[in-house]
Amino acid sequence: MLWYRTPRRRKLRFGSYEQILSEVDRLAPAHRTLGNWTLAQICEHLFETQTFSVEPWEPEIRTSRLFQATIGRIALCVLLWFRFIPEQQGNLGPRPPVDLQAARGHLNESIRRLSSEPTCARHPIFGGMTAAQWRQFHLHHAAHHLSFVIPECSRP
């Protein structure tokens, strides 16, 4: 299927930030990943993206305001309406290896901030977004990345 190029990816949908944390807690003890990123790298990526939405930052991706107002707005609509995020997005690759426990702590902190601070940053592709759009983006973004993590039964 065009939407999911990686075979065996899970279909996830989150309705709250707490559900993201619960899923990471469920996966942490025993899992495998289908892509190039570890669960720790995924958590760290989500942490960085969530943190960047509540504070000023210098994005790795740079686009013009014209791009954001045209192609970026169309891409945002596709993401929000169809919950579609392409698997390959330019040069964004996995971060260097990171400890899972530390990455989970970072993710907990960024979700705490999302729940208590306004999302005010411009997205580097989509441009200005409302708080509701940022929330939906973060929920879909987390579902996209965590869909590559498959829970495994822990063996005694």
pLDDT at 1: 37
Under 8 Å CB-to-CB from 82, ≥6 apart: which residues? none
Which three-class secondary structure string do you get for the chain?
CCCCCCCCCCCCCCCCHHHHHHHHHHHCCCEEECCCCCHHHHHHHHHHHHHHCCCCCCCCCCCCHHHHHHHHHHHHHHHHHHCCCCCCCCCCCCCCCCCHHHHHHHHHHHHHHHHHCCCCCCECCCECCCHHHHHHHHHHHHHHHHCCEEECCCCC
81 inside domain: yes
pLDDT at 120: 78
Q: Which two tokens stand for residue 75?
A: 């891409």
30 inside domain: yes
pLDDT at 139: 96
Task: Note the pLDDT tens digit of each residue in 102-113.
Answer: 999 999 999 999
pLDDT at 133: 93
110 inside domain: no
10 inside domain: no
Positions in the chain short of pLDDT 70: 1-4, 57-60, 88-94, 154-156
91 inside domain: no
25 inside domain: yes
Q: Which domain range does residue 51 map to?
A: 17-85+118-149
pTM of the model: 0.84
pLDDT at 141: 93
Number of domains in the chain: 1
pLDDT at 113: 93
109 inside domain: no
Please give the backbone phi and psi of residue 51, each rounded to the nearest 5 degrees, phi first.
-65, -40
pLDDT at 88: 64
pLDDT at 39: 96
137 inside domain: yes
pLDDT at 30: 95
